[in-house]
């Protein structure tokens, strides 16, 4: 299974400067990073953002790190509402603008994928309206990504309008099944929601898999746990990714572990390397 490439999410390094986080991860032997655009880590709205993106691209190149762009910052767009507005809100144009900026940053960084999700259906917004808003918003973002040669990875997430693989398939079909609209698969979410064993979930979306997030989890509980502390049996999961021919990053996502980021990142890569 030596073909697998491991990364770590910068949302698990929230107390570090981005340049320092990248250096730590390179020193630990990671192959890449899942870079969440946020206030402290490459804010697309900050003054001089274009120069900052150029500097980060150079830093990644010097350190030999690949990158995927993540867009799950909690309060970047609204200081009062976590993750809002989403593609489902009345003011969804704010989210669409953010995702377009993420696509441009992804292109400038040479990112392997730009990942995003649907969001939770807001109170007062009917299911049909929410679904149409999602389809229309994804179509706009995909058009921008296609123009810049960027691959999108849409992530099903528990509790959101699209929370499982079946929901992703419905959305993919509604968009006309475009080649550049892939799936971001969170291994923990598979354990939490999907009826089939995690390796079967991997196999079922192999041809569309463009981004993988990895964490541990218990069925029915949406909580990101350190690798080896939940219920997931990882050897067959990694074997399934290898069999699927997946060559993108497998990035550890532990957004609540910034308080101990270096040690958690070290134990995570040690855990994974011991399996391959």
Amino acid 263: pLDDT:
98
Q: Is there a contact between 155 and 115 (Cβ–Cβ < 8 Å)?
A: yes
Mean pLDDT (whole number) for 237-248: 96
Is residue 130 classed as helix, strand or coil in its secondary structure?
helix
% helix, strand, coil for the chain, step of 5: 45, 15, 40
Say yes or no to pLDDT of 275 above 90.
yes
Instruction: Give the pTM.
Output: 0.96
Mean pLDDT (whole number) for 57-67: 98
Amino acid 2: pLDDT:
66
Mean pLDDT (whole number) for 91-102: 98
| CATH code, 121 | 3.20.20.150
Amino acid 1: pLDDT:
44
Specify the number of domains making up the chain.
Answer: 1
Most distant CA pair in the chain: distance in Å?
49
Q: Domain containing 135: what range?
A: 5-275
Q: Report the C-alpha gap between 276 and 155 in whole angstroms.
A: 26
């Amino acid at each position: 299974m030596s073909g697998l490439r491991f990364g770590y999410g910068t949302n698990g390094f929230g107390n570090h400067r981005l340049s320092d986080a990248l250096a730590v991860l390179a020193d630990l032997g990671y192959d890449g990073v899942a870079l969440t655009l946020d206030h402290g880590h490459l804010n697309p709205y900050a003054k001089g953002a274009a120069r900052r993106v150029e500097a980060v691209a150079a830093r990644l190149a010097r350190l030999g790190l690949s990158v995927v762009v993540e867009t799950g910052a909690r309060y970047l767009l609204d200081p009062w509402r976590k993750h809002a507005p989403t593609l489902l809100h009345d003011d969804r144009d704010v989210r669409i603008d953010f995702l377009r900026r993420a696509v441009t940053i992804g292109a400038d960084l040479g990112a392997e994928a730009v990942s995003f999700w649907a969001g939770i259906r807001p109170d007062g917004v009917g299911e049909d309206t929410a679904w149409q808003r999602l389809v229309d918003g994804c179509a706009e973002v995909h058009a921008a990504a296609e123009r810049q040669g960027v691959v999108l990875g849409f992530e099903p997430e528990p509790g959101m309008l699209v929370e499982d693989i079946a929901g992703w398939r419905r959305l993919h079909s509604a968009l006309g099944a475009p080649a550049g609209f892939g799936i971001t698969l969170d291994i923990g979410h598979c354990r939490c929601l999907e009826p089939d064993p995690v390796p079967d979930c991997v196999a079922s979306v192999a041809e569309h898999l463009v981004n993988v997030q990895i964490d541990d989890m218990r069925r029915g509980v949406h909580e990101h746990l350190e690798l080896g502390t939940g219920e997931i049996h990882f050897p067959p999961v990694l074997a399934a990714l290898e069999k699927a021919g997946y060559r993108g990053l497998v990035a550890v996502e532990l957004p609540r572990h910034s308080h101990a980021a270096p040690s958690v990142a070290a134990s995570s890569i040690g855990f994974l390397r011991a399996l391959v």
